[in-house]
Amino acid sequence: MGYLQMLKPGDWGFKRTISQKQGWKYRIEGMFDLEKAYREIWAFLRSKTYDIEEYDNTTKKKDRGDDVEVKFRAKKEVDDYVQYHLEFIFYVTHASKVNYEGKTLTKGKLELSLKAYLLLDYQNKWKRTKFARKLHNFYHWYLIKWRIDKYYETGLFIEFETVKGMIKDSLGLFY
């Protein structure tokens, strides 16, 4: 294999998905503490120095119960080359507030979707020219591939699993 062949552009992407491509999904029907899950996620992300952006928070009043959709994303700069990204979508249908054992819970159907991915070269230093993209491939495959695989992906995976565990605990899921 020649040096020019290993520098072939397009071999390496700038986004590495940690979760499944479609994301981690749960569907729940019943009573759950949605506000507690939301507060715990935000507190955890803030403690890990993520920048959080809520880009959609919609409530539609309906006869059978409210439809609530909350979308937010969090990103954290690990260094000048790698960013961690987490995306959350909470979609509740037939939502209504109920009092249960002194707590105010939400009753309805919840669909929860989470995604996690690494964004590489988020400052666009390697995307400017065709030659820079070739150098980018060499940089990835031969200089820092081990670091991305062992350090960055593992770090994001641990934080993603921690968030999933918090969600499961606060919503009462056991699987």
Cα 119 to Cα 123: distance, rounded to the nearest angstrom = 10
The rounded mean pLDDT for the chain is 84
pLDDT in tens, 118-167: 988 888 777 778 888 888 878 877 888 888 888 999 999 999 999 999 98
Q: 49, 121 in Cβ contact below 8 A?
A: no
DSSP H helical ranges for the chain: 3-6, 34-47, 130-138, 145-147, 153-171
> So what's the pLDDT on residue 94?
92
Neighbours of 139 (CB within 10 A): 17
User: How large a percentage of the chain has pLDDT more than 70?
Assistant: 89
Concatenated DSSP letters of 139-172:
IIIIIIHHHIIIIIHHHHHHHHHHHHHHHHHHHT
The tens digit of pLDDT for each residue in 78-87 reads: 998 889 999 9
Statement: the pTM of the whole predicted model exceeds 0.85: no
Tokens of 102: 């002194």
Go through 84-102 and write b for each residue having 16 or more CB atoms within 10 A of its CB, e for each that does not.
Answer: bbbbbbbbbbebeeeeeee
Are 113 and 86 a contacting pair, CB within 8 Å? no
Q: Which two tokens stand for residue 132?
A: 């820079």
- The Cα 167–Cα 38 span in angstroms is 8
Which residue matches tokens 């999904």? 25
d(CA 14, CA 61): 41
